Amino acid sequence: MNDRKRLAGGFRLGEWLVKPEDGSLKSTGKSVRLEPLLMDLLVFLCSRAGEVVPKQEVLDTIWGGRFVSDDTVKGSFYQLRKALGDDPRQPRFLETLPKRGFRVLVEPVPLEPDSDLVAKGRAALASEANPASLKQARLYFERALEAEPEHPAALAGLARTFVTMASLGFPGDLWSGAKRAAARAIELNPKLAEAHLALAAVKAVAEHDPPGAMAEVSAALESNPADSMALRWRARLNSALGRHPAAIADARQAADADPLSVPVRRDLLETLFLARRYSDVASEAARLFEIAPSAADIHLGMVWVFCVQGLDQKAFESFIAGIEALGVPPAQVEQAREAFRRGGLPEILKVWAGLLETGASIGQKMQNDLLVLYALMGDRDRSFRIIEAGFAQGNPFLLVLAESPVFDKLRGDPRYGEWIGKLGLEGS
């Protein structure tokens, strides 16, 4: 390796993390600071790793050809070896070859710039949320933190990744990891909106503290009043607490800022539904279908909207459109039509729940959809079992329990009020 520029942004040398810009050497439990000349010497020798570098070339490069005594050179190498924990009699890093020169024995590994890794992590998060993209995002942020453990943006990105993974049911203590990373990022940079939003999610979902979550969202919006993600989170929290006009205003502002984003407009549709603004839901759904005509989740979501209004035929038509968009075979679509002819919408809901319970062709087993289906069917025992499991797992969907019309049939049960209290939604 003959290019010192490749090492200027930092590199690994065995167990050591070398950062030329601040003169630091770090390994597990150890941290050493080198004076600039010693760091220049280390970087130069590492740029020629594996080669024997003549003493005169070292003098010309590091000391600029100035006259220096042998004791000065020997002292510099002594300090460098001491910092690396190297033994000149059995060298691991730096070898002296009498009358020939010096040689670095370990190949240095350049670090990718932290900003590049953070950018890659954010790009992975911006893609479709699936196991592969989330694991890749986590890897990028963790690699950035290996290079710089106190990197605020990388900590915030990692916290956001953990929040998304936890929300999707990934195993592990992800909520705690998200809290630690977000809290540290805020300590380092109190104006980092992304970290405040990750901490807001932790407080709302894992700690059941909507007021605390709202405070974190407010902190994020202080840094950037037009932050679309912060507006969406404030809309969700306001909806959860029954503050529907404020929620709709936030959701509309987010949609105006990003009018072609399906997730943003889907949030607006959900906000309108929680406010029971059904005609506005229909208008927003029409806009969404213009952007994404074959969006199965929107068709299937409209089933709930029509169902709570008692519009069974429209609900059934949305169900058929949804399963066809998912690619369900024609024979099964016809079975659904027969079920509707036989027992109406209640029969469709029953069949749908059965398919989800067995993980059949409509898709993977979705606890949120099952909860909605059993609630709509009035099956309280099954509904509350799913709520209990979701509470233990930190399922963010439970934030809508107090306000969503799909849970109207649960409201007379004493267990319903108990869960509203446990979720911190008593004020709704």
Domain ranges of the chain: 4-110, 113-225
Per-residue confidence at 364, pLDDT binned at 50, 70, 90?
very low
The residue behind tokens 């890897």 is 139
Half-sphere exposure of 389 (CA within 13 A, CB side): 12
Residues in the chain: 428
The mean of the pLDDT values for the chain is: 91
Q: Chain-centre distance of CA 128, in angstroms?
A: 11
Instruction: Specify the higher pLDDT residue, 147 or 204.
Output: 204
Measured between alpha carbons, how far is 162 from 166 in angstroms, rounded to an integer?
Answer: 6
Q: Chain-centre distance of CA 325, in angstroms?
A: 28
Bridge partners, 25 (sequence order): 18, 32
Cα–Cα distances in angstroms (integers) from residue 426 to residues 203, 400, 417, in the given order = 16, 12, 8
- What's the pTM value of the predicted model, to 2 decimals? 0.74
DSSP states along 209-267: -HHHHHHHHHHHHHH-TT-HHHHHHHHHHHHHTT-HHHHHHHHHHHHHHSTT-HHHHHH
* Whether 104 contacts 94, CB under 8 Å: yes
Q: Which pLDDT belongs to residue 405? A: 97
Q: What are the tens digits of pLDDT across the range 21-51?
A: 889 998 877 889 999 999 999 999 999 999 9
What's the CATH class of domain 4-110? mainly alpha
Q: What are the tens digits of pLDDT across the range 90-120?
A: 999 999 999 899 999 998 988 777 778 898 9
Measured between alpha carbons, how far is 193 from 216 in angstroms, rounded to an integer?
Answer: 9
Q: What is the CATH number of domain 113-225?
A: 1.25.40.10
Segment 302-308 shows an average pLDDT of 96
Segment 67-87 shows an average pLDDT of 92
Q: Which pLDDT belongs to residue 76? A: 93
Q: Counting Cβ atoms within 10 Å, is residue 412 exposed (0-12), middle (13-18) or buried (19+)?
A: exposed
Cα–Cα distances in angstroms (integers) from residue 105 to residues 12, 81, 153, in the given order = 13, 13, 35
Measured between alpha carbons, how far is 95 from 107 in angstroms, rounded to an integer?
Answer: 13
What DSSP state is assigned to residue 94?
E
Per-residue confidence at 124, pLDDT binned at 50, 70, 90?
very high
For residues 87-98, one letter each, b for 16 or more C-beta atoms within 10 angstroms of the residue's C-beta and e for the rest, the string is: eeeebebbeeee
Per-residue confidence at 351, pLDDT binned at 50, 70, 90?
confident
Write out the two tokens for 370: 């099952």
